[in-house]
């Protein structure tokens, strides 16, 4: 199977130029069932791959993105593209997810707005965007569509599923739902369930969007979009992705383009200007309905609601699990990761845990850090070598 890499540069550790592929699944026959009881058909999926698939298909790593991510995890779409994929520092030749060794797949999540079917997609029954007629989804539904994509690609086992934040939830979902297909999972800066505080953050973000005068009950695709509401939602969320220390070191109380206070309701401080820019940029490129749906899917995630369910769900899990957290992440602080580790240890699962020091808060999982990079590389390479030894022991070619 060829990757979607058009050209590469091993000297720089980049996968080079890449293209996003599209495939339509569930176009014929039965639709995909959803946890809500609804179903969906057809479903378009956007995905990218990097590296080459081994003959034994023993080198596949599935990368799961966070709330606002997409399929473009590494490389560039154009030579003049100044922005690389969202995890480019971790995917490529010689990087933790080494494309000289591994075949990497990343798809845009169900409900997304970057090529995979979501509220902004066309409903075949009306030939209009779904809007709020798109069915509500769960983390389980997102993993189910990823499984269907891998089936379409002829891939039936993965060496590892990896993701940060919401991507960590999806990685955990894979280990629970498809234990026979997953050798390992990296659950990074994530949580086994959202706290009341995090649900509250999401609720306020959704209110900011739905109260925007341009929201129009989600039917805004032919007119003005609720960019102001989405911008406010993103500004608030962005604060939670950063640490107080990181914000202080970057901005402090520095004024923006002025020497004195304006004594007016203007943007006085540099941190205000930064957040306004982040919100405005996001409000123009992301779909507001997708933000509603994905935050709601995160709210619903709770794979271990009671001891009986926890025991039943974990009983078949045999994947090697690596839980990782960051000491300044207060959105999904280390206590949430340790809670997950306690649950897994209680049920005698093969789990390891590491906390990393970083000044960057929740966003740390996206940023370069030598110790963090080395830990990922050690984990996936160990999985790979174990798999190779197993194949060799039964006489298959390696």
Instruction: Clarify whether residues 189 and 243 are in a common domain.
Output: no
CATH number at residue 229: 1.10.1740.110
The answer as to whether 277 is a domain residue is: yes
CATH number at residue 74: 3.40.50.1820
Q: Which helix (H) or strand (E) holds 245?
A: helix 244-250
Distance CA 161, CA 110 (A): 17
Per-residue pLDDT, averaged over 18-35, amounts to 96
Instruction: Clarify whether residues 157 and 286 are in a common domain.
Output: no
Distance CA 228, CA 215 (A): 10
Enumerate residues 6+ apart whose C-beta is below 8 A from 350. 318, 319, 320, 321
More confident residue, 266 or 243: 243
Specify the 3-state DSSP secondary structure of 383.
helix
Show the tokens assigned to 56.
């034994």
Instruction: Clarify whether residues 356 and 277 are in a common domain.
Output: no
Query: Does pLDDT of 260 surpass 50?
Result: yes
Its sign, for the CA torsion 138, 140, 141, 142, is: positive
Distance CA 132, CA 143 (A): 22
349-373: pLDDT as tens digits: 999 999 999 999 999 999 999 999 9
| Structure-token match 């957040």, residue found | 275
The answer as to whether 398 is a domain residue is: no
317-347: pLDDT as tens digits: 999 999 999 999 999 999 999 999 999 999 9
Instruction: Clarify whether residues 86 and 108 are in a common domain.
Output: yes
Instruction: Clarify whether residues 226 and 316 are in a common domain.
Output: no
pLDDT at 395: 59
Instruction: Clarify whether residues 146 and 242 are in a common domain.
Output: no
The answer as to whether 240 is a domain residue is: yes
115-148: pLDDT as tens digits: 999 999 999 999 999 999 999 999 999 999 999 9
pLDDT at 281: 93
Its sign, for the CA torsion 135, 196, 304, 241, is: positive
Confidence category of residue 9, pLDDT binned at 50, 70, 90: very low
- Residue 14, beta-bridge partner list: 9
Distance CA 226, CA 253 (A): 31
The answer as to whether 92 is a domain residue is: yes
| Structure-token match 């805004």, residue found | 220
Distance CA 74, CA 105 (A): 10
Instruction: Clarify whether residues 272 and 127 are in a common domain.
Output: no
Specify the 3-state DSSP secondary structure of 58.
coil
Give residue 241's domain range. Answer: 200-294
Instruction: Clarify whether residues 98 and 161 are in a common domain.
Output: yes
Give the residue from 294, 317, 351 where a domain finishes. 294
pLDDT at 266: 85
Distance CA 213, CA 224 (A): 9
Instruction: Clarify whether residues 12 and 66 are in a common domain.
Output: yes
The answer as to whether 131 is a domain residue is: yes
pTM value > 0.75: yes
Query: Does pLDDT of 5 surpass 60?
Result: no
Instruction: Clarify whether residues 63 and 154 are in a common domain.
Output: yes
Instruction: Clarify whether residues 227 and 159 are in a common domain.
Output: no
Residues, the chain: 398
Confidence category of residue 264, pLDDT binned at 50, 70, 90: confident
Give the active site residues. 165, 329, 362
Q: How many structural domains are present in the chain?
A: 2
pLDDT at 82: 85
Give the residue from 232, 262, 294 where a domain finishes. 294
Q: Which helix (H) or strand (E) holds 144?
A: helix 139-152
Give the residue from 278, 294, 310 where a domain finishes. 294
Cβ(330)–Cβ(363) below 8 Å:
no
The answer as to whether 172 is a domain residue is: yes
């Amino acid at each position: 199977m060829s990757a979607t890499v058009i050209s590469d540069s091993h000297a720089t550790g980049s996968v080079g130029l890449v293209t996003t592929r599209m495939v339509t699944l569930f176009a014929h026959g039965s639709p995909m069932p959803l946890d809500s009881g609804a179903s969906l058909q057809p479903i378009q999926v956007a995905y990218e791959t990097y590296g080459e698939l081994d003959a034994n298909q023993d080198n596949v790593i599935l990368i799961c993105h966070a709330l606002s991510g997409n399929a473009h995890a590494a490389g560039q779409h154009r030579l003049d593209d100044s922005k690389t994929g969202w995890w480019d520092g971790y995917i490529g030749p010689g990087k933790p997810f080494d494309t000289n060794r591994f075949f990497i797949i990343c798809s845009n999540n169900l409900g997304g707005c970057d090529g995979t079917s979501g509220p902004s997609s066309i409903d075949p029954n009306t030939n209009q965007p779904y809007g709020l007629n798109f069915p509500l989804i769960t983390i389980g539904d997102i993993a189910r569509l990823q499984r269907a994509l891998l089936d379409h690609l002829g891939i039936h086992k993965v060496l590892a599923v990896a993701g940060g934040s919401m991507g960590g939830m999806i990685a955990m979902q894979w280990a629970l739902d498809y234990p026979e297909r997953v050798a390992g999972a990296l659950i990074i800066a994530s949580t086994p369930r959202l706290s009341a505080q995090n649900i509250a953050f999401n609720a306020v973000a959704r209110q900011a969007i739905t109260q925007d005068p341009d929201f129009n009950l989600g039917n805004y695709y032919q007119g003005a979009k609720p960019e102001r509401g989405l911008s406010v939602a993103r500004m608030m969320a962005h604060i939670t992705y950063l640490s107080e220390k990181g914000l202080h070191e970057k901005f402090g109380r520095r004024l923006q383009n002025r020497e004195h206070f304006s004594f007016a309701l203007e943007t006085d401080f540099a941190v205000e200007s930064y957040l306004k820019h982040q919100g405005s940029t996001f409000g123009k490129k992301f779909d507001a309905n997708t933000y509603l749906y994905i935050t709601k899917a995160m709210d619903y995630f709770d794979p271990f609601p009671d001891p009986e369910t926890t025991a039943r769900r974990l009983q078949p899990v045999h994947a090697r699990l690596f839980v990782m957290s960051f000491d300044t992440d207060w959105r999904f602080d280390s206590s949430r990761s340790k809670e997950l580790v306690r649950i897994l240890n209680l049920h005698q699962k093969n789990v390891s845990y590491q906390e990393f020091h970083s000044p960057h808060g929740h966003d740390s999982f996206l940023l370069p850090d030598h110790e963090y990079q080395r830990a990922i590389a050690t984990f996936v390479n160990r999985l790979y070598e174990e798999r190779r030894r197993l194949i060799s022991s039964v006489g298959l070619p390696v």
